[in-house]
Amino acid sequence: MSEDSKLRIENVTKLYGYGLLGLKKFKALDNISMDIDLTKPRIVVLAGETGSGKTTLLRIIMGMVKPNIGRVFYKGRDIHKLRGSEAKWYRREVQPIFQDPYETFNPLRKIDSYFYDTIRNVVGIKNRGEAEHRIDESLRFVGLSLDRVKGKYPHEFSGGELQRISIARALLTHPKMLLADEPVSMLDATLRVGILNILKNLKEKLNMVIIYVTHDLSTAYYIGDDISIMYRGTLVEYGPISKVYQEPRHPYTYALLESILEPDPSIRERYPAIKPSSIELKEFLIPGCRYANRCPYAKEICWHTLPPPTNVDGVVVRCWKYLDYKQS
């Protein structure tokens, strides 16, 4: 993979404050590294429970948040150093889709005005006819049209329609990559599959790469090609989703999948979801593997040293259990 054809996340660490005045720091992300090949259309899922750092990582890739340590390169360029025309280029290449479609749009503004703004300011098309053609093309991709949205306000659409409208708006710039943060979690179950199918279509028909953040492992499996499992700010396992689901390597991935895939609810309750609490902060502060506190295989080294990324049959795992494998 040449530098020009990948997104490279390199040793990214993000510190946030806690305690009185926020003077003490914890690592909301600790030494995250990951390469995504931009030449292969795919959906990469970032999965993990609340507080695992998914949104923080997505915001760092978007350029909205700066890491304290580490860098993110897109096609060879450090995205936190882009200025002027290069920053504008990155905004065209990489587009976000947010969780809550109702928060994306101001209720007092007509929907089509957002489209004209993006076309003028980000894409640079000034000609009205050309702009309308491009807007209609984007809306048709998600099953709508310019005629259908013209002159209307956000409240005149359902949540599912609004989420399709925000996807269409993202498409206006002909992006290479979409960053989608829990895009179906606010929608009724019946509407979710429609949005997921649109994202799959974007991958297949427009050759896009989509980074898809979720805590829901069922939709992750439906939509994903690759998955990276995060736990308390660390990336514990990363690889093709079919391999990870069939044979989870990291003890945390195993526990997580057991709890979700067990059809019998009475058995499923034996694997309760880990709740964020004072334990969360305690785990964030473990210098080694954050899962050591709960792991049945934990040994001395797990507590004080973060395991290195290890390639186990095509899946990258950070766990001292795999020390004997060749490191990736």
Ligand X SMILES: Nc1ncnc2c1ncn2[C@@H]1O[C@H](COP(=O)(O)OP(=O)(O)OP(=O)(O)O)[C@@H](O)[C@H]1O
Applying CB under 6 A, which of residues 52, 173, 228, 310 lies at the interface with ligand X?
Answer: 52
Find the shortest distance in angstroms from Cβ 314 to ligand X: 25
Give the shortest CB-306-to-ligand X separation in angstroms: 17
Residue type, 222: Y
Shortest approach of ligand X to residue 57 CB, angstroms? 7
Task: Please report how close the Cβ of residue 185 comes to ligand X at its closest, in angstroms.
Answer: 9
Find the binding residues for ligand X in span 158-217 (CB under 6 A). Answer: 215
Q: Does 277 bind ligand X (CB under 6 A)?
A: no
Span of 5-13, 53-61, 146-154, 218-226 interacting with ligand X by CB under 6 A: 53-61
Q: How far is the CB of 256 from ligand X (least distance, A)?
A: 13
Joined tokens for residue 278: 């004072």
Asked if 290 interacts with ligand X (CB under 6 A), we say: no
- 285-317: burial string, b at 16+ Cβ within 10 Å, e else: ebebbbbbeebeebeeebeeebbebbebeebbb
Cross-strand bridge partners of residue 239: 227
Residue 111 and residue 153 in contact, taking contact as beta carbons nearer than 8 Å: yes
Q: Which amino acid is at 107?
A: P
Give one DSSP letter per residue of 270-299, joined into a string: TSPPPPPSHHHHHHHT-SS-TTTTT-TT--
54 makes contact with ligand X (CB under 6 A) = yes
Whole-number Å distance between alpha carbons of 172 and 155:
22
Task: Return the number of the residue (137 or 216) whose C-beta is nearest ligand X.
Answer: 216
Q: In this structure, what token pair is assigned to residue 228?
A: 């990276």
- The closest alpha carbon to 285, from 232, 245, 226, belongs to 232
**Of residues 107-146, those binding ligand X (CB under 6 A):** none
The residue from 8, 10, 16, 123 that contacts ligand X (CB under 6 A) is 16
Stretch that binds ligand X, among 36-44, 52-60, 144-152, 305-313 (CB under 6 A): 52-60
Question: Where does 129-260 show beta strands of DSSP type E?
Answer: 177-181, 209-214, 226-231, 234-240
**Binding residues for ligand X, total number by CB under 6 A:** 11
Instruction: Answer yes or no whether residue 55 interacts with ligand X by CB under 6 A.
Output: yes
Closer to ligand X by CB, 16 or 222: give it: 16
Could you say which of 6, 48, 244, 292 contacts ligand X (CB under 6 A)?
48
Round to whole Å and give the CA distance between 209 and 75: 13
Burial (0-12, 13-18, 19+ Cβ within 10 Å), 189: exposed
CB of 17 to ligand X, least distance (A): 6
- 51 is an interface residue for ligand X by CB under 6 A: yes
Listed ranges 43-51, 139-147, 186-194, 197-205: which one lies at the site for ligand X (CB under 6 A) = 43-51
Q: Does 53 bind ligand X (CB under 6 A)?
A: yes
β-strand partners of 15: 27
Least distance from C-beta 252 to ligand X, angstroms?
14
Tell me how far, at minimum, the Cβ of 52 lies from ligand X, in Å.
4
315: phi then psi, degrees, rounded to nearest 5: -120, 135
Amino acid at position 241, single letter: I
Q: Which residues bind ligand X (CB under 6 A)?
A: 16, 28, 48, 50-56, 215
